[in-house]
Amino acid sequence: MSHNTFGHLFRFTSFGESHGPLIGCVVDGCPPLIELTEADLQGYLDKRRPGQSRFTTQRQEPDQVRIVSGVMTEEATGRQLTTGTPIGLIIDNVDQRSKDYGEIRQQYRPGHADFPYDAKYGIRDYRGGGRSSARETAMRVAAGGIARKVLEGVRIRGALVQMGPHKIDRQRWDWNAVDDNAFFCPDPQAAREWETYLDGVRKAGSSCGAVIEIVAEGVPPGWGAPIYGKLDAELASAFMSINAVKGVEIGEGMAAAALSGEDNADEMRTGNTGLPHFVSNHAGGILGGISTGQPIVARFAVKPTSSILTERRSVNRFGAEVDIRTKGRHDPCVGIRAVPVGEAMMAIVLADAFLRHRGQTGAPATRWPFPRPA
Ligand SMILES: Cc1cc2nc3c(=O)[nH]c(=O)nc-3n(C[C@H](O)[C@H](O)[C@H](O)COP(=O)(O)O)c2cc1C
């Protein structure tokens, strides 16, 4: 199986399955001399870790990351620095329960990757979805932690803006509230309402979808590339590669279709920072595939968790019709734990874009405004 690598100059390759002994990744292309310890990555992994509230799967994985290559402690200072060589990261799987999956060995769970994996490879790791499990996303979060270290001055934050049919009130958006509730919700009132809603969904053995918004501030103008390397295209690819994601938007996204040209095109004035000031940000910080210096704003929608307690109709690998009730431990709304994963993918795309921009132009900072001809 190929396609386990993401990125160009800053690239990572992940490996491992849901119920194997461990998962891991190799991050290649990280510049040397960046201070990096396991503690730098653990905080992000703890945000994604399962079993932290009644609203996420009860699988208990400590997700302790180990850095096994690519760093060295500098004798003079005692600081652990990247060496420019591949950084190997490992996380042990400690709470696999394969017996939950015995029954579905030969059956295809609706909404899961079981059938297409079998049809493609003729063999499938049925334990927790094997490679198609979102357990793999822990490695993206770890790699994303390294990407953030490459991105000095860039702040990446994510939030859940819709749970099932219930949207936040954007007037009440408060970034400080995001870590004060179980949903990474920026609207404290919506978070309280979602508790009741998701408790109902969970107790009914059902599930719901969600929309996640990721914002990157401090990205200078110039990152990204034209045509086939568009920053928005790379972000869409990154978010779409996350399990259960079915839609991606940049800036105004689908809603742009309903706006007029007057309303949608972001007007510009001379700013007082030396860069143009955009009066609005319908573009989501990207024009022509290249960053404008405005915040980069992206959203993605995740579908409702497919593993639910209600019996569903399906078929098995011998072509017989069966009824399936998915046992095991599951997230009633996978959107919650997708927030740190989305942040990580934003960081990975931006770190890669930054290094390629520096590689081509030699300059991390913008050279605008250009001198007037004499
Ligand atoms: C953080 C995270 C956790 C997930 N946990 C579950 C889960 O507990 N049960 C489930 O049915 N799907 C879960 N998923 C989604 C499945 O992995 C995914 O739907 C499945 O592999 C099919 O792939 P696709 O939806 O991307 O087409 C999760 C997704 C994410 C991002």
Token pair of 107 as six digits: 């059956």
Looking at residues 114-129, what average pLDDT do you find?
A: 93
134 lines ligand 1 (CB under 6 A): yes
**Dist. CA 244 → ligand 1 center (Å):** 5
Nearest residue (CA) to ligand 1, atom 24: 244
Structure confidence by residue, pLDDT tens digits, 239-259? 999 999 999 999 999 999 999
pLDDT of 79 > 90? The answer is yes
Please identify, by atom number, the ligand 1 atom nearest to the C-alpha of residue 109.
11
Q: For tokens 């690519």, what's the residue?
A: 70
**% of the chain at pLDDT higher than 70:** 96
127 lines ligand 1 (CB under 6 A): no
Nearest residue to 51 (alpha-carbon basis) of 356, 273, 294, 329: 329
pLDDT of 365 > 70? The answer is no
**Is residue 342 within 8 Å of 212, Cβ to Cβ?**
yes
**CA 95 – CA 62 distance, rounded (Å):** 9
Where would I find the H helices in the chain? Answer: 38-48, 114-121, 137-150, 188-203, 231-240, 261-264, 335-361
Question: Residue 168: left (phi > 0), alpha (psi -120 to 50), or beta?
Answer: beta
**Is residue 288 within 8 Å of 229, Cβ to Cβ?**
no
212 lines ligand 1 (CB under 6 A): no
- With the most atoms of ligand 1 within 8 angstroms of its CB, the residue from 306, 310, 325, 345 to mutate is 306
Nearest residue to 225 (alpha-carbon basis) of 355, 341, 342, 347: 355
**Is residue 134 within 8 Å of 102, Cβ to Cβ?**
no
**Is residue 30 within 8 Å of 53, Cβ to Cβ?**
no
Structure confidence by residue, pLDDT tens digits, 312-331? 999 999 999 999 987 766 78
Q: What residues pair up with 170 in beta bridges, in sequence order?
A: none
**Is residue 195 within 8 Å of 203, Cβ to Cβ?**
no
pLDDT of 363 > 70? The answer is no
pLDDT of 265 > 80? The answer is yes
Please identify, by atom number, the ligand 1 atom nearest to the C-alpha of residue 243.
26
Nearest residue (CA) to ligand 1, atom 21: 132
pLDDT of 99 > 80? The answer is no
Nearest residue (CA) to ligand 1, atom 13: 305
**Dist. CA 90 → ligand 1 center (Å):** 21
Looking at residues 15-25, what average pLDDT do you find?
A: 95
- Residue 309: count other Cβ atoms within 10 Å of its Cβ: 13
Token pair of 78 as six digits: 């005692």
Average pLDDT score over the chain: 93
CA Rg value for the chain? 22
Q: For tokens 């009860």, what's the residue?
A: 58
**Dist. CA 305 → ligand 1 center (Å):** 6
207 lines ligand 1 (CB under 6 A): no
Which of the two residues, 56 and 179, has the higher pLDDT score? 179
- With the most atoms of ligand 1 within 8 angstroms of its CB, the residue from 305, 312, 326 to mutate is 305
Q: Is 313 exposed, middle or buried (0-12, 13-18, 19+ CB in 10 A)?
A: exposed
pLDDT of 91 > 80? The answer is yes
Nearest residue (CA) to ligand 1, atom 8: 330
pLDDT of 111 > 70? The answer is yes
pLDDT of 55 > 60? The answer is yes
pLDDT for 367: 62
pLDDT of 364 > 60? The answer is no
**Dist. CA 68 → ligand 1 center (Å):** 28
Looking at residues 17-27, what average pLDDT do you find?
A: 95
Confidence of residue 286 (pLDDT cuts 50, 70, 90): very high
Nearest residue to 87 (alpha-carbon basis) of 48, 38, 136, 46: 38
